[in-house]
Structure 1
Amino acid sequence: MPPELLLIVLFGASYGALFHLYYGRKLRQLLAFLLASMVGFALGQLIGELTGLEVFAMGRLHPVEGSLGSGILLFIARWLKL
């Protein structure tokens, strides 16, 4: 497994779990938040790769862009009441 893929999963899972601790109530929400966070982090990572942004890049990992993507999708998931 490539290191950036492992870090995407770890960052996404931790953001989703922390978001659920603050906003979640049910197990179904935990699963939705974990999935939304991982997908959002991966999309942010992809945008960082495609645009060539180097804001605090750690090797091939773009944590700022990934965190923004994760946060956006988490709040969309909360807004949709998943």
Structure 2
Amino acid sequence: MTLPTIIFGLVVAMLYGALYHFIRGGGGWRLLLFFGLSILGFALGQLIGMWQGWAFLMLGSLNLGMGSVGSLLVLVAGEWLSRIDVKKESGV
């Protein structure tokens, strides 16, 4: 993969994170969390697509389809895990 392809993939992943933040809401830290989760998911989707040979919405050497699916899955899972409320009191 070339540097412009990597930069374009980062831009697309960050757009997904910003769109998810716009839909789900939250503060500045949540936006940074969504950016990180989206980039991680996009990279994982891209790597799984290359590893398995799955080609879905290819744009040059960028597997836009698998990256998008990975980004969405990691965003939903990460946001769900970040909303778990931990109880501070002891049950004993």
Partner of 1:48: 49
Distance in 1 of aligned mates of 2:31 and 2:55: 31
Structure 2: any 5+ residue segments left out of the alignment? 84-92
Distance in 2 of aligned mates of 1:35 and 1:28: 11
Partner of 2:16: 15
Displacement of 1:58 after TM fit?
1.5
The 4+ residue runs of structure 1 with deviation greater than 6 A are none
1:31 aligns with 2:29: no
**Greater relative contact order (Cα < 8 A, sep 6+):** 1
Asked which structure has the greater CA Rg, the reply is: 2
> SS of the counterpart of 1:54?
coil
Q: Aligned residue pairs: how many?
A: 82
Distance in 2 of aligned mates of 1:63 and 1:7: 10
> Where is the strand percentage greater, Structure 1 or Structure 2?
2
> Where is the helix percentage greater, Structure 1 or Structure 2?
1
Partner of 1:73: 74
Aligned alpha-carbon RMSD (Å): 1.3
> SS of the counterpart of 1:80?
helix
> SS of the counterpart of 1:70?
helix
Partner of 2:4: 3
Displacement of 1:54 after TM fit?
1.8
> 1:3-38, CA deviations, whole angstroms, 9 ceiling, x for partnerless residues?
221122111100000000110211110000000001
- Percent of paired sites with the same residue: 37
Structure 1: any 5+ residue segments left out of the alignment? none
